[in-house]
Chain A
Amino acid sequence: MILSKRMLPILGVVGIAALSACGTSTTTPSSSGGGGSSLASCQGSITVATDLPLTGGDATDGPPVEKAAHLAVTQANANKVLGGCTLKYVSKDDATVLKNGHDPAQGAANFTALSSDQSVVGVVGPFNSSVAVAEIPVASQNHLAMISPANTNPGLTQVGTNPDVNTTSLYPGAKTYFRVIGTDITQGQILSYVATKELNFTKAYSIDDQETYGKGLSTFFQKYFAADGGTIVGTASLPGTTKDFHTQVADAQSKGAQVIFFGGTSGNGCGILRSQMPASLPELGGDGCQDNKFISDAGSNALGSQVTSAPDASKLTTATQFYTDFKSTYNEDGTESPYTPYGFDAMNALIQAIKAVIVANHDQPPSDSQTFRDAVVAQLHQISYSGATGTVAFDANGDTTHAGFSLYTINGTKWAPKELLTADATGKVTVAG
């Protein structure tokens, strides 16, 4: 209560900024490219950043997203989206040797550093929900907008959805957190739909990796699997260092499980589990499993796994230009991780919000960094931007308004999208294509 009272004046400022921004943003078309001539007088340098796991065990997750976000900044500068103003790009790595991958403590330290740099107005990241839990309070206190291209844990934005996350206490200041991916509530509903309706399973065994993301996804899968008429025959919660799953596989088999669900990441054993399962028993997982590490870990046993992940954008006409540009810039397909174009869209949405703020401020960046940051957050709440993956827009919680997940199976030695599924507010899942 005390906190929110102190926040009232700040919220007032945000509101005013939002209103004024709202008026002008309708006048500028919300598409990329083409610097408005009205911004020619804009002067100065504005910093945007990414915070992603780039090294260690997560070295397959972060880098493509980071490259896509970097590409968005490079293109915006080349196209003079901000007219005379330039964007400066900073990349932060939230992976540490100690954790052999994403490290919440490192993420928080990165956000503290970014917050204290007055030129930084927004960050794309993080990748992992556990890191987000550590970073959101820092961003919130420092009015810094953050857009995650990959966080799926609903507890980050929706109060009461995850017993392990106290959502209210994540935001000591303003709500500055956004994400362009659906939550695990939706993902759980879709996974349950796949398990019960498409694969006709009635008995499932669930294992999670004890982390914010994995435990949460596992909980939602169990909840909706039971709601859809299935039975969870057993569960296990194992640390990410686990290398031996034989005990749990034997347990699952003895209980007649038709599928083992893994809530967690490849770094925490999704593929290792697969390698220790009989080929005849399928594995189902979420977006944490959809990477090359899974395939290499699972070895000869990789086939027979199905996972959901970010909606596949590689076939969308709106994404064609992005993939062409990505390939010509980095000489990589950019299709290895479905999250890649979301990094691009998240950064572009941030740039569009910055642009709207500058326009509303008489073609100049606000001189006070806190005012600038607050205005960017307000603009993001209003934004409707047509990106590579579709329309980017956020609801009052900061969640994307276009929640869906694609189902992927292994085709040869690569993940291939099978179908796109969406869930509506009531939890009804439909196959969208």
Chain B
Amino acid sequence: MSDESPAAADGMLVDQRGLTSRSHRGAASSPAVVATSTVLRQLYSLVQRYFPQILVAGIALSILFVYTTGGLTLMGEQIKNALVLGAIYALVAIGYTMVYGIIELINFAHGDVFALSSFYALIIATSFGGFVNSLATGSGIGLLVALVILFVTTMAAAGFTGMAIERVAYRRLRDAPRLAPLITAIGVSFLLEGFMLVKFGADNVPTKNDLWITGTALTLGKVSIAWTDLFVFATAVALMFTLGAFVRITTLGKAMRATAQDRNASLLCGINVNRTISATFFIGSALAAAGGIVYSLNYHSIQWSLGYRLGIIAFTAAVLGGIGNIVGAGIGGFVIGIIYVFGGQLAGGEWSDSLIFAILVIILTFRPTGLFGVDVTTRA
């Protein structure tokens, strides 16, 4: 962790590159080549400096383009779709960003924890002889109670799963070379996928709670927004900001931030670093579980392989938001949702995935700190 502000570090990087490449190439290359490379270099630094502006402008233009070609209703429908999809990405992205922030590990198993949680939700929704399910479909208050039961138990179960993964697969490798825990992370990912495949089968598994929340909440123009859409979005935003505040204000949150910034110094401030890291995994996994629950409420089937692709997309969201930054990951999730949906609308759905990963490559090459850099207020 550098003590310099990201902006200053970026600035230096650009200056140095400019100097060295000029002195190296100047003598040997023809004037045309020099001119081209100068233009490219300027373009490069422009993209680097104005990356957020370029991204926002691109998104705004896409939305505008959809509006002019498809009309207001289509634009509204797609914004709704983007926000719902983005909410799920956001919830999963936060776990990636927290874990990376604290132990600098890309927790590849995180996407699978998300998928596993959706199965936990299924089990809980159908357990006790369908008690929770009948409660939810019985009355409004029943639904509220059922949702509380579902969220609390599923998030706790997923949280403990995440803690167990850290304890078993990552803790002993904490001071090992970076590659070692990365490989065990991939191993844990496959292990979880295999477990789900054997336990729940290869087929799409219908969720039992997709009929808990039904009906249209409101209609804006011709865009009808279902209660589920609203619920998914609100859950994500609420959890995102609650967590942001939690990390900023509470004891545990401060311990997390301290551990993320300097593990040894934290130890010598009396912080139980192991427990703090466990708590980070618990919270990250619990948020993925919230994502799994809203996924199962909104979509009608879940699959053992769900976490792999969604996990990578959510990871892209975390990188976009500036890895280590919780609110950044949340916002990154929504931005990715918008890119996915509007990219699909404009370029064709077959390009959606490619577009997301192109974004990943562009961020990593042009702006590794992401949109919000290492935000000072929320780094965890």
Residues of A that sit less than 8 Å from B by CB: 55-57, 59-60, 97, 100-101, 207, 210, 236-239, 241-244, 246-248, 250-251, 253-255, 271-272, 275-276, 293, 296-301
Report whether B299 and A243 are in contact in the complex, using a CB–CB cutoff of 8 Å.
yes
A165–B87 CA distance with the chains assembled, in angstroms:
41
How many whole Å from B314's CB to the nearest CB in chain A? 14
Query: Do A59 and B344 form a contact, CB below 8 Å, given A246-B85, A247-B81?
Result: no
> Contact: B70 with A296, CB < 8 Å?
no
The reply to whether A243 and B74 form a contact with Cβ atoms under 8 Å apart is no
- Tell me the complex Cα distance, A210–B81, Å: 23
Task: Assess whether A239 is in contact with B210, with CB atoms less than 8 Å apart.
Answer: no
Among B84, B204, B303, which residue has the most Cβ atoms of chain A within 10 A? B204
In the assembled complex, how far is the CB of residue B82 from the closest CB belonging to chain A, in whole angstroms?
Answer: 8
Contact across chains for B345 and A59 when beta carbons are under 8 A apart: no
CB of B180 closer than 8 Å to a CB of A:
no
Known: A207-B349, A251-B70, A254-B77. 4 other contacts (CB 8 A): A210-B350, A237-B350, A241-B309, A246-B81
Tell me if B204 and A239 are in contact (CB < 8 A). Answer: no
Can you pick out 28 interface pairs between chain A and chain B where the beta carbons lie within 8 Å of each other? Answer: A57-B204, A207-B349, A210-B350, A236-B344, A236-B348, A237-B348, A238-B350, A239-B353, A246-B81, A247-B352, A250-B78, A251-B78, A254-B70, A254-B73, A254-B74, A272-B204, A272-B300, A275-B299, A276-B299, A296-B203, A296-B204, A297-B300, A297-B301, A299-B210, A300-B210, A300-B211, A300-B300, A301-B300
Bound-state Cα–Cα, A56 to B202, Å: 5
Say how far B208's CB is from chain A's closest CB, in angstroms. 10
How far, in Å, is A61 (CB) from chain B's closest CB?
11
Do A247 and B349 contact each other (CB < 8 Å), given the known contacts A57-B202, A297-B206, A299-B210? yes
CB of A248 within 8 A of CB of B202, answer no
How many Å from the CB of B76 to the closest CB on chain A? Answer: 9
Mask: chain B, 138-180; 1 = CB below 8 Å from A; 0 = not: 0000000000000000000000000000000000000000000
B22-53 CB mask vs A (1 if < 8 Å, else 0) is 00000000000000000000000000000000
> A299 touching B85 by the CB < 8 A rule?
no
Closest to A234 in B: B348
Q: Are B348 and A299 closer than 8 Å at their CB atoms?
A: no
Question: Do residues A251 and B202 form an inter-chain contact, with CB atoms below 8 A?
Answer: no
B349 touches A296 (CB 8 A): no
Enumerate chain B residues within 8 angstroms of A272, measured Cβ to Cβ: 204, 299-301
Chain B residues contacting A242 (CB-CB under 8 Å) are 349
Complex Cα distance A84/B73, Å? Answer: 73
Q: How far is the CA of A272 from the CA of B298 in the complex (A)?
A: 12
Q: How far is the CA of A59 from the CA of B210 in the complex (A)?
A: 24
With A247-B81, A251-B70 known as contacts, the answer to whether A293 contacts B353 (CB < 8 A) is: no
Smallest CB separation, A59 vs chain B (Å): 7
Could you mark each residue 333-353 of chain B with 1 if its beta carbon is under 8 Å from any beta carbon of chain A, else 0?
000000011001100111011
Q: Which residues of B contact A97 (CB under 8 A)?
A: 197, 202
- With A246-B84, A247-B345, A251-B345 in contact, is A59–B74 under 8 Å at CB? no
What residues of chain A lie closer than 8 Å to B316, measured between beta carbons? none
Q: Indicate if the CB atoms of A296 and B202 lie closer than 8 Å.
A: no
B81 adjacent to A236 (CB under 8 Å)? no
Chain B minimum-CB-distance residue to A56 = B202
Is residue B305 within 8 Å, beta carbon to beta carbon, of the partner chain?
Answer: yes
Which of B78, B85, B206, B309 has the most C-beta atoms of chain A within 10 angstroms of its own C-beta? B206
A-B contact number at CB 8 A: 96
B residues 62-91 touching A (CB-CB < 8 Å)? 70-71, 73-74, 77-78, 81, 84-85
Chain A residue with Cβ nearest B306: A243
Q: How far is the CA of A237 from the CA of B303 in the complex (A)?
A: 21
In the A-B complex, list the 6 residue pairs whose CB atoms are closest, starting with the nearest: A254-B74, A250-B77, A275-B300, A246-B81, A56-B202, A299-B300
Contacts of A246 in B (CB 8 A): 81, 84-85, 341
Q: How far is the CA of A253 from the CA of B340 in the complex (A)?
A: 19
Asked if residues A100 and B202 are in contact (CB atoms below 8 Å), the reply is: yes
Which residue from chain A places its CB closest to the CB of B224 in the assembled complex?
A278
The one of A247, A255, A271, A275 that contacts B78, using a Cβ cutoff of 8 Å: A247
Given contacts A250-B78, A254-B71, contact A297 B204 (CB under 8 A): yes
Report A-chain residues with C-beta under 8 Å of the C-beta of B340: 247
Among A100, A250, A275, A296, residue most surrounded by chain B Cβ atoms (within 10 Å)? A250
Q: Is the CB of B70 within 8 A of A238?
A: no
A57 and B203 form a contact (CB under 8 A): yes
Given A59-B202, A251-B345, check contact A275 B353 (CB 8 Å).
Answer: no
A56 partner residues in chain B, CB cutoff 8 A:
202
Q: Mark B181-203, 1 if CB is under 8 A from A, else 0.
A: 00000000000000001000011
Which of B197, B211, B349 is the one whose CB lies under 8 Å from A248? B349
Q: For the complex, what is the distance from the CA of A69 to the CA of B348, rounded to whole Å?
A: 42
Least Cβ–Cβ distance between A102 and chain B, in angstroms: 12
Residues of A within 8 A of B84 (CB): 246
Interface string of B273-308 (1 = CB under 8 A from A): 000000000000000000000000001110101100
A236 to B344, CA, bound (A): 9
Chain A nearest Cβ from B88, distance in angstroms: 9
The residue in chain B whose Cβ has the minimal distance to the Cβ of A60 is B203
CA distance A106 to B324 in the complex (A): 42
Closest to A253 in B: B77
Interface centre among B74, B202, B303 (most CB of A within 10 A): B202
Given A246-B84, A272-B300, A272-B301, check contact A299 B206 (CB 8 Å).
yes
Report the bound CA distance from A55 to B201 in whole Å. 10
- Kindly provide the distance from the CB of B304 to the nearest chain A CB, expressed in whole angstroms: 8
Question: What are the residues of chain A within 8 A of B74 when measuring CB–CB?
Answer: 250-251, 253-254
Chain B residues lying within 8 Å of A55, measured Cβ to Cβ, are 202
Query: How many angstroms from the CA of A110 to the CA of B286 in the assembled complex?
Result: 44
Which B residues touch A275, using CB under 8 A? 299-301
Residue of B nearest to A58 (CB): B202
B128 nearest CB across to chain A (Å): 23
Q: What's the minimum C-beta distance from B311 to chain A, rounded to whole angstroms?
A: 13
Alpha-carbon separation in the docked complex, A255 to B77 (Å):
13
- What CA separation (Å) do A111 and B38 show in the bound complex? 57
For residue B305, which residue of chain A has the nearest CB?
Answer: A100
In the complex, the chain A residue whose C-beta lies closest to that of B350 is A237
Residues of B within 8 A of A57 (CB): 202-204
Nearest residue, chain A, Cβ from B344: A247
CB-defined contacts of A300 to chain B, threshold 8 Å = 210-211, 300
Residues in A whose Cβ lies below 8 Å from that of B341: 246-247
Provide the residues of chain A in CB contact with B85, threshold 8 Å: 244, 246
> For B73, B203, B303, which residue has the most chain A Cβ atoms within 10 angstroms?
B203
Which A residues touch B77, using CB under 8 A?
Answer: 250, 253-254
Closest approach, in angstroms, between the C-beta of A71 and any C-beta of chain B?
Answer: 25
- Chain B: which residue is nearest A95 at the CB level? B202
In the docked arrangement, what's the CA distance between A298 and B300, Å?
8
Query: Separation in Å of the B300 CB from the closest CB of chain A?
Result: 4
The winner among B74, B85, B210, B301 for most chain A CB atoms within 10 A is: B301
Chain B residue at minimal CB-CB distance from A101? B202
Q: Which residues of B contact A243 (CB under 8 A)?
A: 299, 303, 306
Bound-complex Cα distance A241 to B306 (A): 9
What residues on B are CB-neighbors of A301 within 8 Å?
300
Q: Which residues of B contact A299 (CB under 8 A)?
A: 206, 210, 300-301
